[in-house]
């Protein structure tokens, strides 16, 4: 090997090492940012809004779309910051402009409803929501289905179209869309009545919700409790199970804690009334 070849090999090796180290550094930084975003989301769920703000704001200002969504939610509800819908809109729009699916759904629904200080533009709003679904937001598919199912905001009522969107959300794994599709089949709304299909989709919904509840998600725990309380999602009424899940949810510091405590009170009142008869 010539001296020139050795020099070239040395330069190539240094370049390769530089690329590898850069990739490693970026990977570590990306992991740190993702961890910070998740820490903020967990703080938000346990109602520690000051911590969520401290974690989300610097990332949002650096252009992280998930942090932009989080900061928008804080401004929208006045949590740890003065309530400011205009500021919330700014952050939601920034996220949507980056192709963030949740941002697209939030902004799109705002246009459909004519809320959030935005002029009503149903066609543009629905188009944005459909874009969000294309980008992976299964919950937005369910919301589109509900718009068609109920004929809201000037959208013509169309049960067949509603079922199509419920199905899309369900096939993407959204528990609420699975439950809606189960109801569509149970009642024969927009689709031929089919008890087997209803049971299938209810079962999928319950399985997904129970998994989240078992992992400690307070909202999923409340949904399980209410489903057992009223016999929803294909579940038989079970006051003991309802009380169990509602108590699990109520014991957590979360945004649904008040609703969970109301569920506990309701189930206990009904149980006491039944025992007194």
Nearest to 165 by CA among 186, 190, 195, 187: 190
pLDDT for the residue numbered 232:
80
In this structure, are residues 264 and 247 in contact, taking their beta carbons and an 8 Å threshold?
A: yes
Compute the average pLDDT of residues 258-267: 93
Label residue 275 by pLDDT band (50, 70, 90): low
Residues 25-54: tens digit of each pLDDT: 545 445 777 888 899 998 998 889 999 999
Q: What does pLDDT average to over the chain?
A: 88
Residues 40-98: tens digit of each pLDDT: 998 998 889 999 999 999 999 999 999 999 999 999 999 999 999 999 999 999 999 99
The pTM of this model reads 0.81
Compute the average pLDDT of residues 4-29: 51
């Amino acid at each position: 090997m010539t001296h020139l070849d050795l020099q070239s090999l040395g330069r190539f090796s240094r370049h390769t090492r530089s690329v590898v180290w850069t990739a490693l550094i970026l990977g570590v930084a990306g992991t740190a940012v993702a961890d910070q975003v998740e820490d903020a989301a967990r703080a938000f769920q346990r109602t520690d809004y000051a911590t969520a703000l401290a974690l989300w704001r610097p990332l949002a200002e650096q252009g992280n779309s998930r942090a932009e969504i989080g900061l928008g939610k804080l401004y929208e509800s006045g949590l740890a910051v003065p309530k400011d819908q205009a500021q919330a809109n700014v952050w939601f729009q920034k996220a949507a402009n980056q192709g963030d699916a949740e941002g697209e759904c939030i902004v799109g629904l705002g246009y459909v409803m004519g809320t959030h200080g935005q002029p009503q533009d149903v066609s543009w709003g629905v188009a944005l929501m459909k874009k969000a679904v294309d980008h992976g937001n299964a919950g937005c598919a369910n919301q589109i289905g509900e718009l068609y199912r109920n004929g809201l905001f000037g959208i013509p009522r169309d049960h067949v179209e509603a079922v199509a969107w419920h199905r899309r959300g369900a096939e993407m794994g959204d528990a609420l869309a699975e439950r809606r599709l189960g109801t569509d089949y149970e009642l024969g709304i927009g689709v031929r009545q089919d008890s087997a299909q209803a049971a299938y989709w209810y079962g999928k919904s319950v399985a997904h919700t129970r998994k989240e509840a078992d992992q400690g998600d307070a909202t999923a725990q409340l949904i399980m409790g209410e489903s057992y309380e009223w016999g929803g999602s294909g579940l038989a009424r079970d006051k003991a199970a309802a009380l169990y899940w509602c108590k699990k949810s109520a014991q957590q510091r979360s945004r649904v804690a008040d609703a969970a405590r109301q569920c506990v009170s309701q189930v206990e009142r009904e149980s006491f009334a039944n025992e007194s008869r």
